[in-house]
Chain A
Amino acid sequence: MPGSVELKMKKIRLIARIDVKNEFAIKGIHLEGLRKVGDPNDLAKNYYESGIDEIIFMDAVAAYYDRNSLSHIIEKACADVFVPITVGGGIRTIEDIQTALNSGADKVAINTQLIRDPDFLKEASMTFGSQCIVASIDAKKVGDRSWEAYIDNGREPTGKDVVKWAQEVQFLGAGEIMLTSIDAEGTRKGFDCELNDEVAKVVSIPLISSGGAGNSNQVVELTRKAKVDAVALASILHYNVESVGAIKKNLMQNEVLIRL
């Protein structure tokens, strides 16, 4: 069995990203101007039953207020959602990660704390394994093929170049990167393909692209222009623009490999 050299393409994961504020699933534009879109657990169950590959819950205001409060939502979700669950927003300490995992999360997504203390990433991945640490990077375009990393849910610039920061988080032990384009986020006008391409070229860990998905053709376009491993979908699902099934069907027709 080993030794075969047939190079098969990988399957792109479709992830439902559910931003949460005060018990409600919400959606913003450019990570701001938040609108309620439903109950996070109802949405998660619905997306699971329609064939989503993974779920990400993000506490939309946790970083701002220094808190994390999604535990009960995760506990409820993992009783009827049997695909991987990631939780993010406001994770500051090893104990926060432990709490998230004990609640039933498989991975945690961390942004602000990694910028404040890059050694925290090393410690977290040594403690829990890199497979459970997703480095979340919020990117804002600042020039031609140049992006700056932001923290506190898109509010604070950090002075860090996104492409360099992506390489650094890989070096420090991140198992995956979730890259959110603040400019594209919530606009439904499509992904920032250049941004994703620049980052995909320099990292050898899986890349999740987030921000901008308004229809499945844009997902097809992204996979042709950048070697991403997964895409996060929010508006397109929350506003019933296309169902998970319809998105997968279109991807298949366009020869993008996915889980059936």
Chain B
Amino acid sequence: MSGVKIAVIDYGVGNIKSICNAFEKMGANINVTREKEDILGADGIVLPGVGAFPHGMKKLLSFGLDDVIRQYANTGKPLIGVCLGMQMLFDSSNEFQDTKGIGLIPGKVEKLPVLDDYLHKLPHVSWNEIEVIKGHSNNIISDVDGSDMYFVHSFYATPDSFENVLSTTNYSGFEFCSTVKKGNIYGCQYHPEKSSEQGLKVISNFIDICNSKG
């Protein structure tokens, strides 16, 4: 089971220590890297990220990592994006200005609508349930249907195809896609590495997928 090689993509944004710790705790060998060979040679890769979409994309582009990630995706090996890392897998975002994403999942990123700003604040900072879409339960979200995960975001990603939605989450009366999958490409809007035991379960599910593909 153990020994799966996971590359965590280092593009100079935010705290990646926690995500490394969580993957290590679940038995993965972690390599924090921005080197093409390391990334293409990994059994699985993690695209972390917090902060604003344009800043994140700018950093990725500055290291030429968008190309490397697309090349990796073509190998069919698993990739997971977390929070901003998930959003950047989409075609584009309108945070501050229209910005192109990596474009691995058709769809776009938009601001969360808030129906009542007295009851529901932005950013959406809270534990919130993920509801697994029927037929998708045997996946990275195996055994976590209905679990509370930790969210910190003001924007959300909408896949063009509902087929790509693994789970949804309701905030302020609005349902958005909280876990996404297109082939070997996965993403979660919440932070599994900050979501206690249930989040660690998502990480260990992803590691299992990397193992079975390797």
Contacts and interface: CB of A to CB of B under 8 A. Distances in A.
Contact of A82 (B18, B120, B171): B18
Contact of B123 (A85, A104, A206): A206
Interface stretch (B39-47, B65-73, B85-93, B162-170): B162-170
Given A11-B148, A82-B18, A176-B125, A204 B200 contact: no
Contacts of A29: none
B1 interface: no
A204 B50 contact: no
Interface in B100-128: 114-123, 125-128
Interface string A41-70: 000000010010100000000000000000
A7 interface: yes
Contacts of A3: 175
Contacts of A155: none
Interface stretch (B74-82, B180-188, B191-199, B206-214): B191-199
Main secondary structure of the interface of B (DSSP, over half): mixed
Interface stretch (A114-122, A123-131, A137-145, A187-195): A123-131
Contacts of A8: 170-173
B163 to A, nearest CB: 12
B121 A205 contact: yes
Nearest to A176: B125
A53 B175 CA distance: 23
B121 A206 contact: yes
A78 interface: yes
A259 B121 contact: no
A11 B126 contact: yes
A131 B125 contact: yes
A255 interface: no
Contacts of A78: 17-18, 21
Q: Which 9 A-B pairs have the closest CB atoms?
A: A129-B51, A259-B127, A104-B17, A259-B148, A7-B173, A204-B117, A101-B15, A131-B152, A206-B121
